[in-house]
Amino acid sequence: MRPPAFWQDDAPRGSAALTRALLTPLGALYAALGAWRIARATPQRAGIPVICVGNLTLGGTGKTPVVRALVEQLRQDGLRAASLSRGWKGRLDGPVRVAPDHHTAGDVGDEPLLLARTGEAWIARDRAAGALAMQAEGVDVIVMDDGHQNPSLHKDLSLVVVDGEAGWGAGRVFPAGPLREPVARGLARADAVIVMMPDSETQPDYRRLQLVDSPLPVVRAWLEPGEAPPEGRLLAFAGIGRPQKFYDALARAGGELAETASFPDHHAFSNAELERLADLAAAHRARLVTTEKDWVRLSPDWRKQVAAWPVEVRFSAPAHVSDLLRQSVDGAAKPG
């Protein structure tokens, strides 16, 4: 789905404010049900450390690239680290280890398939069952992609990722706004916050993000190109939470954008849509380019015709992130 305009704090006044006001009672019910579910749960311990990379909003914040970076960091530390995802929009329930040469996005979801291209990745609708299966197969550390609001599995480290530009939107809980739960409640269960910015120079508005007086460690992060954009004119398309972030990043990296085309998050591209995009690219004498997450949802034939532009997470304080990981792994290893 595309986020409605009234979810944002810069939406025009009048109708947006009225819409939010009308939907706020439903948001209060949604928040209350979520709080009740968390309060009554008894989280399952996996027997190995579980690091959760979650968020407080619906839509893309940059969780998956963070998960990929943390898995790689843990692997460099000599640990068998693997990601665990729900497998959103995939047909398999799991637990199952994702095989990128065997599974499709239709089987396991696009994000797990993307994570499996660079590291070990698992999916499970039942997160606790997935974690136990991973532990039984010899995984040392689990990095869970999303799940901050899922109380079924004990977390040894909870990281909340927030888009530093979009923030918490209008600060209302779904459906009145993009929040999955009230900010204060969500941050109370977190151990640290990662603020995703468009580049290394831009500073977050910590007051707007309600982080000025927060006792939580806060780390800035951003995405950097894994390689230069494809040469020549480009027709960029994306079906992610905030496609404009992808286009802006391409342009900052020197990509020559002739046209862009945006789709809802996790969009399943039809052959007809891709043919129209190819025709439009031909009219512009441009090459098709998309995100890695979108690229894994394409058929093998279309992957040959579309370039995937990779990006990687960079942290403002990588040593701090490493310390958080080490402390969570060491703490989980202690008896009791």
Report if residue 123 sits inside a domain: yes
278 and 139 in one domain?
no
What is residue 56's three-state secondary structure?
coil
- Structure letter (DSSP) for residue 93: -
326 and 265 in one domain?
no
Q: Is 59 annotated as a binding residue?
A: yes
Specify whether the CB–CB gap between 269 and 239 falls below 8 A.
yes
Q: Is 293 annotated as a binding residue?
A: no
Does 46 score more than 90 pLDDT? yes
Q: Is 60 annotated as a binding residue?
A: yes
**How far apart, in whole angstroms, are the C-alpha atoms of residue 74 and residue 142?**
10
Q: Is 62 annotated as a binding residue?
A: yes
293 and 182 in one domain?
no
Q: What is the pLDDT of residue 26?
A: 93
186 and 150 in one domain?
yes
138 and 54 in one domain?
yes
Residue given tokens 């459906």 in the structure block: 175
Report if residue 292 sits inside a domain: yes
260 and 208 in one domain?
no
- Structure letter (DSSP) for residue 43: P
Q: Is 58 annotated as a binding residue?
A: yes
Q: What is the pLDDT of residue 1?
A: 57
325 and 247 in one domain?
no
CATH of the domain at 162: 3.40.50.300
177 and 299 in one domain?
no
Q: Is 19 annotated as a binding residue?
A: no
Number of domains in the chain: 2
What mean pLDDT is reported for the chain?
A: 91
pLDDT in tens, 117-175: 999 999 999 999 999 999 999 999 999 999 999 999 999 999 999 999 889 988 899 99
212 and 197 in one domain?
yes
Across the chain, which distance is largest between two alpha carbons, in Å?
A: 65
Question: Which residue range is the domain that position 73 belongs to?
Answer: 50-223+314-333
Q: What is the length of the chain? A: 336
Specify whether the CB–CB gap between 243 and 262 falls below 8 A.
yes
195 and 72 in one domain?
yes
